[in-house]
Amino acid sequence: MLKNITGTILLPFFIFFLISCQRNLTRDTSNNNDSAAVDSHETTKTASANKERKPADAAAILSRKQVPVLCYHQIRDWKATDSKTSKDYIIPVNTFKEHIKMLADSGYHSVLPDQLYNYLVYGDPLPPKPVMITFDDTEQNQFTIANPELKKYGFKGVYFVMTVSLGRPNYMSRDQVKQLSDQGNVVESHTWDHHNVKKYQGADWVTQIEKPTKTLEEITGKKIEYFAYPFGLWNKEAIPELKKRGFKAAFILATKRDDTDPLYTIRRIIASGYWSAGTLHNSIVNSF
């Protein structure tokens, strides 16, 4: 008898509890949808605002403090057959790891090309102690050694790919390049076969720039908008050609920047295989 009375008393409360929960669930779902709509609206507003912002002129871009952009090539231990000159471009594995650890321990934050572009053109803020970590020539050890090391410290890299080497022994495959892109790294153009830009004529712009750009866009599914000059060599004639093909910026090495188009002559530092982590740190501090 007592059980029947208790059940009779509690049943209405149980029904009320279920109805309340259902109402709250409906309200939460509605709020989530509203939030998504607001986020979408804010994204649209931000994109629209960016289009309306006035870009800085060349003088203003040149006046901004330069961001250190590091350039790595091969990451492997030296061989007896390596020349003294080539060792500048071959960084031993442990030395590379010490470089990346130093950057993390020193409080550096990796930035990507769009961040650098928006900083230079619109004055957008960058994280404290920004650094861009770039890799040239599509070496496979950039995928097998460099990428895991960057991941360890939460860094992202920029990979300037030379498309002639894709899939060749000791070079990255298309799938590896796509993996890098899918993981939030940035893949950009470094020509078809590393031919000197200063020597381009006629069809060279199609062979060395247009076709590789299309290849990389097919692999990554993303627009290719940044370029690294082979050997860091450039001339004024190259800049309008890059602009016509949709490039927003291009990277040289340590030579003088162009006064008219500084975005197409952003400097990089070759991280030498001879440099300790301390030497790299000093180079970053003293170069800019």
Q: How far is CA 123 from CA 55, 56, 65, in A?
A: 9, 8, 11
Residue 1 structure tokens: 């008898």
The helix (run of H) or strand (run of E) holding residue 269 is: strand 269-270
The helix (run of H) or strand (run of E) holding residue 69 is: strand 69-72
pLDDT of residue 32: 39
pLDDT of residue 170: 97
Whether residue 267 contacts residue 69, with contact meaning beta carbons closer than 8 Å, is answered with yes
pLDDT of residue 44: 43
Whether residue 185 contacts residue 114, with contact meaning beta carbons closer than 8 Å, is answered with no
Whether residue 110 contacts residue 132, with contact meaning beta carbons closer than 8 Å, is answered with yes
pLDDT of residue 19: 39
10-residue averages of pLDDT along the chain (288 residues): 39 38 39 38 46 93 97 98 97 98 98 98 98 98 98 98 98 98 98 97 97 98 98 97 98 95 98 98 89
> Beta partners for 159?
135, 187
pLDDT of residue 48: 54
pLDDT of residue 169: 98
Instruction: Identify the CA nearest to 216 among candidates 234, 190, 240.
Output: 190
> What is the per-residue pLDDT across 135-145, written as a single tens digit (0 to 9) for each?
999 999 999 99
pLDDT of residue 52: 81
Q: Where are the chain's structural domains?
A: 1-52, 60-287
> What is the per-residue pLDDT across 76-89, written as a single tens digit (0 to 9) for each?
999 999 999 999 99
Residue 182 structure tokens: 């899918």
- What's at 132, amino acid-wise? M
pLDDT of residue 49: 55
Rounded to the nearest angstrom, the gap between the alpha carbon of residue 35 and the centroid of all alpha carbons in its chain is 29
CATH 3.40.50.10800 fits 60-287, yes or no: no
Whether residue 258 contacts residue 83, with contact meaning beta carbons closer than 8 Å, is answered with no
Say how many C-beta atoms besides its own lie within 10 A of residue 128's C-beta.
Answer: 8
